Chains A and B, each alone.
Chain A
């Protein structure tokens, strides 16, 4: 990268926010994806939409690539650059407006997800998407990856809440799509295209999301199941009984053992699954729903069932699920966290595949995740220094993804394709799928400077 080009960038964002020293570049070479690393040539932290436009105009002219980054919590290598510019959105962190009449919030892309949660909840409103990294993930990143979370089953994912976007295109021009209206059929729907585009089509500079009223009450329940098949049947039966829990999470046997070893929360080691179930809504309705959940869990032979009496007890019941990742991650230095997703009805079968693959390739995989929406987190505990074990882990995951596809599921439910899942995408979407995606990429970014090398 030429010096004069960098000084042009400096003029836009200022010296303080133009990073070129070796040390800075070294720590912007990674995100949360294990094993992947590649250094940028310059890191920029612009403050507003105008600066982002100017940066893109300059980079477009010079053919320099730009990789957007929020807090670097991506799990598919999506925020790792392949040289060029890394553009960090953290300084664009204003909540511009909370519109209580239209029930929308308009934010800059660097706003932290949980900060938005707190802000809207203090007004009795609710923004449901709650990815595991919500305490540090940015709304911009959530939109780019279409992040899910624990509340996906009942409330959907980020895409279900994006109403309007202001996007800086590859050449620096501004594109406005959607807005505050619920109904809008003018032209192609571009919002859904931009959501989950993983930074390859444009850079969001303003995001308007839908808000809903905050549920008035919540009941938390925990159930232990000696047999995984029974747990899976219970999940299906709960939904069939017309109860849609806000949270329907499970832990498998490997995860249960890790959690118990680490947190000593009193989980039995002889059960196949633990389900954490939360229903939320009007107090009268959720009391009825909780009663059905209890009945169903007992019908499917749960060995233990508890309903939290108060908030403190609810927190205690949720501990096992909340500490699942910590407990697993502590066992070995490297944690490969995947997000294969299958139709809800296939969960038991999918878990069997995961266990078989782990055994076959002699790796430890603990699985936890969102039983309600079929989004599983098989988590391989390994050591990046053991190349042989890493290779076996990848072999196991290849089988797991194949199985997910064959069950009508997907290779990634909420982490994105990025670099890590690129090789699996053609299997899922086929040649025509890739061809259409390439065409869209061409239309938006003919010079291929926006997050190049990602997705396909």
Chain B
């Protein structure tokens, strides 16, 4: 790791008040400034790679709120992730990591069929039975949490049913590639279907290559940089081949990762790919006037949660708000600490359940205070986490992906 990146931290502490784990613990070891110091001391040799040190670092959600707050451009979240990657590349992946990250994640077909038992479980009535009888209590806690997080799954993943080329409605103004997020396609297929329809209704031909693979975010989470690069090269080849004007995603996590391909992979191809990537809100907000004509009233109090991967990693904050405010009669309420993490953070809510719950609770408290009837966000991890939280504590607040709401407003 580049030592200069570590000593760039001037320890001003501006990252502390925005760090979800510092807010919960007040511990310097659970702060971005502390994490940078730990990695620095490790590199300088005054600390060893102890279990305790790794444990402290693993509390980081990589939400990168610290990067948004840092006056000198240090990204503590990314430094921790890079450190984890470097460590993994020395140590190698575990059997399970190898299985999931190398054998499952890069192959959409396998990934989709791995979800079939879950779908069967939900549809057969078995889920209801299991929940009623409390059988889950007999399983490890992580499994219980996974079960609780999953909403009803769509009957088929979007990737299997979507057209490879969706024609533009009316005159074609351009061609966009649609990057299907794994979780969006598997779980939130309605939102992604809405995304594609919105794009085509604005005059874009939408190409959705079926052979695209996972963006690689799970690999980064597991510290598997090589795995990420493998998938990235496949995606770069597929999308660059048809030279889209933009590569669109409606998943914040994918967007952040795709925009970083050019950091991980040298060369013109990766640079070209990353420069074309846009979050759906970026492209939609370029067409506000056209949307305004189509949008019909939604008489609801609506608020927006900034996904970390959109606000902190991609710097997108005004676009989703601008789009929401276009909808007639919609009363927009700004959420307090809207860009604070919800505690989802990849698999964090399963691996660090206790901390994740505390962070989620803060978010739910602000949601309660907001008076909103509908929560809008635009990242599947946040959708899963907040959906679960709301259903348990605030069942009157509904939750939707941004494109779902826009599509509903147009087509009601």
Residues on A facing B (Cβ under 8 Å): 19, 21-24, 26-28, 30-34, 45, 71-73, 88, 90-91, 110, 112, 114, 133, 135-137, 325-326, 329-330, 333-335, 384-385
Whether B71 pairs with A27 at a CB distance below 8 angstroms is: no
Once A23-B56, A26-B41, A91-B26 are accepted as A-B contacts, the answer to whether A136 and B14 lie under 8 Å apart by CB is: yes
Partner of A133, one of B14, B29, B34, B53: B14
Nearest A-chain residue to B57, judged by Cβ? A23
Give a binary string over B206-248; 1 marks a CB under 8 Å from any A CB, 0 the rest. Answer: 0000000000000000000000000000000000000000000
Residues in A neighbouring B8, C-beta threshold 8 A: 330, 333
- Chain B, residues 316-333, CB within 8 Å of chain A (1/0): the string is 000000000000000000
Complex: how many Å from CA A31 to CA B14?
Answer: 12
Task: Tell me the nearest residue of chain A to B71, going by C-beta.
Answer: A326
Cα separation A155 to B7 with both chains bound (whole Å):
37
Give B73 Cβ to nearest chain A Cβ, in Å.
5
Q: Which residue of B lies closest to A74 (CB)?
A: B13
- Provide the residues of chain A in CB contact with B33, threshold 8 Å: 27, 72
Closest 4 CB pairs of A and B: A326-B71, A90-B26, A329-B72, A27-B34
Contacting residues, chain B, for A137 (C-beta < 8 A):
13
Residues of B within 8 A of A71 (CB): 13, 16
Contact status B13-A136, CB under 8 Å: yes
Q: Bound complex: CA of A333 vs CA of B41, how far in Å?
A: 16
Nearest CB in chain B: distance from A17 CB, A: 9
Which of B10, B16, B28, B34 has the most chain A CB within a 10 Å cutoff? B28
Q: Does B47 contact A (CB under 8 A)?
A: yes
Q: B34 contacts which chain A residues (CB < 8 A)? A: 27
Which of A27, A91, A333 has the most CB atoms of chain B within a 10 A radius of its CB? A27
Q: B138 in the interface, Cβ–Cβ < 8 Å?
A: no
Bound-complex Cα distance A283 to B13 (A): 36
Does B265 sit at the interface, judged by CB under 8 A? no
CA separation between A137 and B73, bound complex, in Å? 20
CB distance from B60 to the nearest CB of A (A): 14
Q: Are A23 and B50 in contact, with the CB atoms below 8 A?
A: yes
Bound together, the chains give a CA A45 to CA B27 distance in angstroms of 9
Tell me the complex Cα distance, A31–B34, Å: 11
**Given A326-B71, A326-B72, A335-B72, A73-B38 contact (CB < 8 Å):** no
Q: Of the candidates A23, A325, A329, A333, which one forms a contact with B47 in the assembled complex, judged by CB atoms under 8 Å apart?
A: A23
Q: Which of B4, B13, B46, B52 contacts A21 (CB 8 A)?
A: B52
**Chain B, 27-43, CB within 8 A of any chain A CB:** 27-29, 33-34, 37-38, 41
Question: Once the chains bind, are B37 and A26 in contact (CB under 8 Å)?
Answer: yes
B47 touches A24 (CB 8 A): no
Which of chain A's residues have a CB closer than 8 A to the CB of B52? Answer: 21-23
Interface of A (DSSP majority class): loop
Contact B12 A22 (CB under 8 A): no
Instruction: Report which residue of B29, B47, B52, B56 has the largest number of chain A beta carbons within 10 angstroms of its beta carbon.
Output: B29
B73 interface neighbour in A24, A90, A330, Cβ under 8 Å: A330
Q: Which residues of B contact A33 (CB under 8 A)?
A: 11
Given A27-B33, A72-B33, 15 more contacts at CB 8 Å? A23-B53, A24-B27, A26-B37, A26-B41, A27-B28, A31-B11, A32-B11, A34-B11, A45-B26, A90-B26, A136-B13, A137-B13, A329-B71, A333-B7, A333-B8
Q: How far is the CA of A330 from the CA of B72 in the complex (A)?
A: 5
B371 within 8 A of A: no
Contact assessment for B47 and A88 in the assembled complex, using a CB-CB cutoff below 8 Å = no
B41: nearest chain-A partner, CB-CB: A26
Q: Once the chains bind, are A329 and B26 in contact (CB under 8 Å)?
A: no
B315, CB-defined interface residue at 8 Å:
no
Interface string of B45-89 (1 = CB under 8 A from A): 011001011001000000000000001110000000000000000
CB distance from B319 to the nearest CB of A (A): 17
A136 to B50, CA, bound (A): 30
Q: Can you list 14 A-B contacts with CB-CB less than 8 angstroms, sorted by A residue number?
A: A24-B28, A24-B29, A26-B37, A26-B41, A26-B47, A27-B28, A30-B37, A71-B13, A136-B13, A136-B14, A136-B17, A137-B13, A335-B10, A384-B7
Name the one of B50, B72, B73 contacting A22, with C-beta atoms under 8 angstroms: B50
Complex Cα distance, B38 from A325, in Å, reads 25
Contacts of A136 in B (CB 8 A): 13-14, 16-17
From residue A112, how far is it (CB to closest CB) to chain B in Å?
7
Q: Which residue of chain A has the shortest Cβ distance to B6 in the bound complex?
A: A333
- Give the contacting residue for A73; candidates B12, B41, B53; CB below 8 A: B12
A27 and B53 alpha carbons, distance in the complex (Å): 11
Q: Compute how far the CA of A385 lies from the CA of B27 in the bound complex, rounded to whole angstroms.
A: 29
Q: Of B13, B28, B50, B53, which contacts A28 at CB under 8 A? A: B28
In the complex, are the beta carbons of A334 and B10 less than 8 A apart?
yes
Given the interface pairs A31-B11, A32-B10, A335-B10, the reply to whether A23 lies near B72 with Cβ below 8 Å is no
